[in-house]
Amino acid sequence: MNNKLKIIISILISVGLFTSLTSFYVPAENLQIRLFAHLKVSSLQLNTVSGKYMVLADGNSVGQNALESVFKLTLKGDSIQLSQDDKLLGNFIYIKFVGNGNEEIKVKLINPDRKARIYENNLSFSVSEEYIRIINDVVLDNYIGGVTEAEAGSRSNLEFYKVQAILARTFALTHINKHVAEGFSLCDQVHCQAYYGKPKDLTIFKAIEETKGKVVVDENLNLIVAAFHSNSGGQTANSEDVWGSRTSYLRSVSDSFSIKMPNAKWERRMLTDDWLTYLKLKHNVPTELAGAKSEALNFKQDQRKIFLECNNSRVPLKNIRSDLQLKSTFFSISEINKDSVLFKGRGYGHGLGMCQEGAMRMSKSGYNYIQILNFYYKNIQLIDLHKLSFFKDE
Ligand SMILES: [Zn+2]
């Protein structure tokens, strides 16, 4: 098939797609990520690792960032004091390090003291809520590389990194306006997606390159909510059972890949009195009645359930999980002696979408990223947003 024909066919496939995706899609493909979003930063140090930066302070160039230069930024009231190699350049409201396209810069927080990290592309600094706000203006796929390492860990394999990269890209595009009211796209914490700068594992760069532009859409060609969790315990969950709303792609699947992995099982002991008191006070379960008490002390889940049913009370397992800070809702309860009960649990996390440990196991067993995504998400397709952008330009 020639290229022109391929393009025409792709246009026909994606006609319905356009209206649903345009609200998410950002042609420029640069994101503004707030760095160290959880910290109150009052001083830091920068030096170029590669490439060349122009340093702009309140709109004026204050020089080039030579490779050997060290810049220091210190909070001074409503402005930031900038110095280069201990030479004071002045106090400014807005400082920007603008790169030439493929540059990297080392960021070392001094107060609070944190290990240095390497970031790609541009950085800007301003004072917000009495501390220095750091924004990384970063190319989408550079950001996706950082997220892939932060979320998947290092020393994994190519197919698993590809899965994590596609999910990170899909998430980024669906949540691009999450912090828009605060003046940036996403923060670098798990609130959005964990992002700690340029990845160290070279396999990640290959995964990003080989999945360039790919995102996951549902049967109506809308970007999916790219939920994932650590371990399903052998069965993933339905979205309506966790979030209350049904989706066509977050469907419960039997997941044998997860069961021998590190987070497949957990246990928690609890005093019987504490457990019964909790049910009585928090959920009005009549635990003074023999029937209800017996059900509360002997609860089994072979398949995932939504409620603990005692007498006529139905207690949502997700509430028990969050109240008692349990690893999952997929647990059984039994009496181990007259004073204590044992929670025997399976899995770690909400159970929706991809199970990371199961996906890792699949990738090591020879499954590719497309097979892994189709195992954990139902009725989905992978599409390429770059092609959409190309059509849009035409
Ligand atoms: Zn956030």
What element of type H or E holds 85?
none
Closest CA to 151 of 175, 173, 167: 167
pLDDT at 388: 53
C-alpha 163 – ligand 1 centre gap (Å): 22
User: Does residue 232 fall inside a structural domain?
Assistant: no
Distance 293 CA to ligand 1 centre (A): 42
Please indicate, yes or no, if residue 224 is contained in any of the structural domains: no
CA of 372 to the centre of ligand 1 (A): 27
Residue 13: per-residue pLDDT: 33
Question: 335 in a domain, yes or no?
Answer: yes
Q: What is the DSSP string of 340-366?
A: EEEEEEE-BS---SEEHHHHHHHHHTT
The whole-number pLDDT of residue 155 equals: 80
Distance 191 CA to ligand 1 centre (A): 4
Residue 216 has pLDDT above 70, yes or no: yes
From ligand 1's centre to the CA of 192, what distance in Å?
A: 4
CA 352 – ligand 1 centroid, Å: 20
Question: If you measure from the C-alpha of residue 211 to the centroid of ligand 1, how many angstroms do you get, rounded to a whole number?
Answer: 25
Task: Indicate the pLDDT class of residue 28, thresholds 50, 70 and 90.
Answer: low
- Decide if 45 is inside a domain: yes
Cα–ligand 1 centroid distance for 193 (angstroms): 7
Per-residue confidence (pLDDT) for residue 260, from 0 to 100: 92
pLDDT higher than 60, residue 312: yes
DSSP-assigned letters across all residues of 129-148: TTEEEEEEEEEHHHHHHHHH
Whole-number pLDDT of residue 2: 39
CA of 226 to the centre of ligand 1 (A): 15
Q: What percentage of the chain reaches a pLDDT higher than 90?
A: 81
Find the 186 Cα to ligand 1 centroid distance in Å.
5
CA separation for the pair 11, 18 (Å, rounded)? 10
Q: Is the pLDDT of residue 234 over 70?
A: yes
Give me ligand 1 centre to Cα 190, in Å. Answer: 7
Compute, in angstroms, the gap from residue 380 CA to the centroid of ligand 1: 26
* Residue 127 falls in which region: left (phi positive, over 0), alpha (psi -120 to 50) or beta: beta
Q: Does residue 302 lie in a domain region? A: yes
Helix H or strand E encompassing 44: strand 43-50
pLDDT at site 52 = 87
Q: Which two tokens stand for residue 247?
A: 């989706």
C-alpha 251 – ligand 1 centre gap (Å): 26
How do strand 60-65 and strand 53-57 relate by DSSP bridges?
antiparallel
Q: What is the mean pLDDT of the chain?
A: 90
Is 102:51 a contact under the CB 8 Å cutoff? Answer: yes
How many other C-beta atoms can be found within 10 angstroms of the C-beta atom of residue 319?
Answer: 14
Adjacency order of strands within the sheet including 87-92 = 87-92, 79-84, 71-76, 43-50, 104-111, 117-120
Q: Is residue 45 scored above 50 in pLDDT?
A: yes
Better pLDDT: 8 or 377: 377
CA of 358 to the centre of ligand 1 (A): 27
* Interacting residues of 171 by C-beta distance below 8 A, sequence separation 6+: 193, 226
**pLDDT at 132 > cutoff 90:** yes
- Residues 6+ away with beta carbon under 8 Å from 2: none
pLDDT band for position 21 (cuts 50, 70, 90): very low
Q: pLDDT tens-digit profile of 50-77?
A: 888 999 999 999 977 777 789 999 999 9
Q: How much distance in Å is there from the Cα of 209 to the middle of ligand 1?
A: 26
Q: How far is the CA of 184 from the centre of ligand 1 (A)?
A: 10
Q: Whole-angstrom Cα distance, residue 166 to residue 161?
A: 9
3-state class (DSSP) for residue 312: coil
Is residue 32 situated within a structural domain? no
- φ, ψ of residue 123 to 5 degrees: the values are -130, 140
Identify whether 152 is part of a domain: no
Provide the pLDDT for residue 394. 41
| Cα 37 to ligand 1 centroid, rounded to whole Å | 8
Structure tokens at 33: 């990520």
The identity of residue 189, as a single letter, is Q
Kindly list the distances between the CA atom of residue 203 and the CA atoms of 105, 207, 266, 378, in Å, as whole numbers in the listed order.
21, 6, 32, 27
Please tell me the distance between residue 176's alpha carbon and the centre of ligand 1 in angstroms. Answer: 10
pLDDT of 22 higher than 70: no
Residue 19 has pLDDT above 70, yes or no: no
305 Cα–ligand 1 center, Å: 31
Answer whether residue 26 shows pLDDT above 80.
Answer: no
User: What's the pTM value of the predicted model, to 2 decimals?
Assistant: 0.86
- 108 CA from centroid of ligand 1 (Å): 22
Number of domains in the chain: 2
Q: Is residue 136 part of a domain?
A: no
Choosing from 346, 362, 381, the residue where a domain stops is: 346
- Omega before residue 112 within 30° of 0, cis: yes
Confidence at residue 76, expressed as pLDDT on a 0 to 100 scale: 97
For residue 134, the CA-to-ligand 1 centroid distance in Å is 14
Q: Give the gyration radius of the chain's Cα atoms.
A: 25
Mode of pairing for the β-strands spanning 30-35 and 186-187 = parallel
Q: How far is ligand 1, taken at its centre, from the CA of residue 307, in Å? A: 31
Residue type, 187: C
Specify the pLDDT at position 387: 60
How far, in Å, from the CA of 335 to the mean position of ligand 1?
42
**What would the pLDDT profile of 154-194 be if each residue is shown by its tens digit?**
788 999 999 999 999 999 999 999 999 999 999 999 999 99
**Of 91, 111, 129, which residue sits at a domain end?**
129
Residue 102: the pLDDT is 82
C-alpha 188 to ligand 1 mean position (Å): 7
Tally of CB atoms within 10 A around 180: 11
What is the rounded CA–CA span in Å between residue 73 and residue 49? Answer: 18
Q: Which domain, by its residues, includes 64?
A: 41-129
Cα of 275 from ligand 1 centre, angstroms = 35
Supply the pLDDT for residue 20.
37
What is the whole-number distance in angstroms between the Cα of residue 197 and the centre of ligand 1? 16
Last residue of a domain, one of 326, 346, 366: 346
Q: First-to-last CA distance in the chain?
A: 21
Average pLDDT for 377-390: 80
**How far apart are the CA of 118 and the centre of ligand 1, in A?**
20
